[in-house]
Structure 1
Amino acid sequence: MKKIALVVFVFVTTLAGAQVTQQNQQPQISVAGEGKIKVAPDQADITIGVENTGADAAEVKKKNDATVDAVIKYLKGIKLASEDYQTQRVNLNRNYDYNKKKYNYVASQTIVIHLKDLSKYDSMMMGLVDAGVNNIQGVEFRTSKLAQYESEARVKAVAQAKQKAGDYAGALGQKVGKAIVVTDNTQTFYPQPMMRAMKFEAADSTAPQETLAIGEITVTANVNISFELN
């Protein structure tokens, strides 16, 4: 009988403790915020390639190596820092030509160039083509002030989250208190270009050629914040 009474006492005590904890728990609200900063890029990563095809593997590789050597010498010649260009892929493949019923070899090398001055893009690309580049695989725009814009985006994300919390709290007749938990949900990827409308001027034969529409890139930050409700 005493054991039964003890069990009942423990159960009642536990239940009472849970009720007190629940009553003392601070009301909370959790919201998400997003901040975006749109900026014009001032740098770019340009992926170029050299490719040669032939019947003899050694000759194809030798020809491709000679072209790559000319490309690297050109980059050195325009005073591009050695850390601003890097070989990405080197391939030598044997392919079968079903029409000619024979094998051929394809040698290729891909180089990524980090261009810190976009005004040099057109002249550099012409020089690279003259040096033997026969494959331009893409351009990825960047900004030299990424850390600054990421910081600004985070501030905007927090401000949006706080505004959301205020809207909900106001509708409930309550006020937003201090932040309890802050979670950064920003994905680590480089901002991609978003093209903006370009203004077309009348053709001017004396104006420098422009073949690069830089558009804008968007730096984004995402945050989740839990606030107390008062």
Structure 2
Amino acid sequence: MKKALVVLSMMFMTMSYAQEIKQVPQISVAGEGKVKVVPDQATISATVETKGNVAKDVKKQNDQQMEAVLKVIKKMNLSPADYRTQRVSLNPVYDYEKKKTSYNATQTVEILLRDLSQYDELMEGLVNQGINRIDNVIFQSSKLAQYQSEARKLAMKDAKLKAEDYVSVLGQKVGKAMTISDNSQIYQPQPVYARMKTMAMDESATTTRETLAEGEITITANVSVSFILE
């Protein structure tokens, strides 16, 4: 009997608690914000590649060409913090048809160019002094954090505008936000490949010319927001 009374008491308390819970009218929407900016700097990844039959000679030639490349970089008064050796390799390559081993040496330097007006001069200097492979060029903004903040604010405004559009026909109003989820992807600048490889292979180019067309980069923020309806 006591057990039955306890069970009935718990059921009564549960029902009473459930009656006190009120459904809160709400709406969930997604918002997107985009900021387009002209990049003001670039990261250049450039490689010296040499081949030959004697490992020692191949490595020596590679070192000499990279030394000349570094002199070009220093001549342009770039900060030492803005360039670094990224990769160094010396690998044997076996030719099964000729049954002969050759060697391939590479050194890659990564350069952060903060002044795009130096771009053409730097690229031609690199190619003329031994760079024979431009792996990629990534255009970016030095004010990325600022533009990401702007994009997030635009995304929130977009979400609220969508919510207001939906409820405007119902005679209701959008109230406070209950939940906010940031769905933004990590910003990854897109590299430029083909145009720079073409320039690198054009060894006959001797006159100064303008080859840079950096265009715009887009910084995007995405949010999901749940608003209370009033």
Alignment TM-score, normalising by the size of structure 2: 0.87
Corresponding position of 2:105 = 107
Percent same amino acid among aligned pairs?
55
Describe the shift of the 1:137–1:224 C-alpha distance in structure 2 as closer, same or farther (beyond 3 A).
same
2:180 aligned counterpart, secondary structure? strand
Structure 2: which amino acid aligns with 1:20?
E
- Residues 191 and 219 of structure 1 are in contact (CA less than 8 Å); yes or no, is this contact kept in structure 2? no
Is 111-120 or 164-173 further displaced after alignment? Answer: 164-173
Deviations 1:136-157 (A, max 9, x none): 1111110122122111111110
Gaps of 5+ in 1: 195-206
1:208 to partner: Cα distance: 6.0
Structure 1: which amino acid aligns with 2:122?
M
Cα distance in structure 2, aligned partners of 1:105 and 1:29:
65
Corresponding position of 2:90 = 92
* 1:49-128 superposed matches below 5 A: 49-128=47-126
Corresponding position of 1:162 = 160
1:189 aligned counterpart, secondary structure? coil
Cα distance in structure 1, aligned partners of 2:103 and 2:208:
40
1:193 to partner: Cα distance: 7.3
Corresponding position of 2:36 = 38
Corresponding position of 1:201 = none
1:12 to partner: Cα distance: 2.4
The alignment's C-alpha RMSD in Å is 1.9
Gaps of 5+ in 2: 193-206
Structure 2: which amino acid aligns with 1:105?
Y
The answer to whether the aligner puts 1:216 opposite 2:226 as a matched pair is no
Cα distance in structure 1, aligned partners of 2:73 and 2:218:
30
- Residues 193 and 216 of structure 1 are in contact (CA less than 8 Å); yes or no, is this contact kept in structure 2? no
Cα distance in structure 1, aligned partners of 2:97 and 2:216:
46
